[in-house]
Amino acid sequence: MLVKFLLTALATMVAAYILPGVEVDGFFSAFILAMLLGFLNVTVKPILLILTIPATVLTLGAFILVINALVVLLADAIMEGFYVENFWWALLFSLLLWLTNSLLKDVSGGEEK
């Protein structure tokens, strides 16, 4: 679990470096953000998914991208040291975070549990 948070923190730093609309105040903030996003993905995201089933079905699943961006914006509102300029940067950040996490998981040889 600790390795997963460290890899997510590294992915967060990479995504924040690439995207000008996203800022993270150092690796410690990125690590705390990784834990916060993990917590929000376990608690808030399932509730949002259930509440938005009609929109998700209507858009053939594309609305899940919006939910991911909303979770990132919620993390921005909760945490000091993490800043996302607007919804579109949050959407790009969530996509880039997913891509970077996938690449790092492949490189590290980690398996999804």
pLDDT single digits (tens) 35-56 = 999 999 999 999 999 999 999 9
Beta-strand ranges (E) seen in the chain are 22-24, 82-84
Give the model's pLDDT for residue 51.
96
In a domain, 76, yes or no: yes
Q: How far apart are CA 1 and CA 83, in angstroms?
A: 25
Q: Which residue range is the domain that position 87 belongs to? A: 2-107
Q: Which residues contact 13 (CB under 8 A, 6 or more apart)?
A: 24, 27, 30
- pLDDT tens digits along 58-104: 999 999 999 999 999 999 999 999 999 999 999 999 999 999 888 87
Give the model's pLDDT for residue 4.
87
Write out the H or E segment, with its range, that includes residue 78.
Answer: helix 63-78
Give the model's pLDDT for residue 110.
60
Give the model's pLDDT for residue 106.
77
pTM value is 0.89
Q: Which residues contact 109 (CB under 8 A, 6 or more apart)?
A: none
Count: domains in the chain: 1
In a domain, 32, yes or no: yes
In a domain, 113, yes or no: no
pLDDT above 90 covers a percentage of the chain that reads: 81
In a domain, 112, yes or no: no
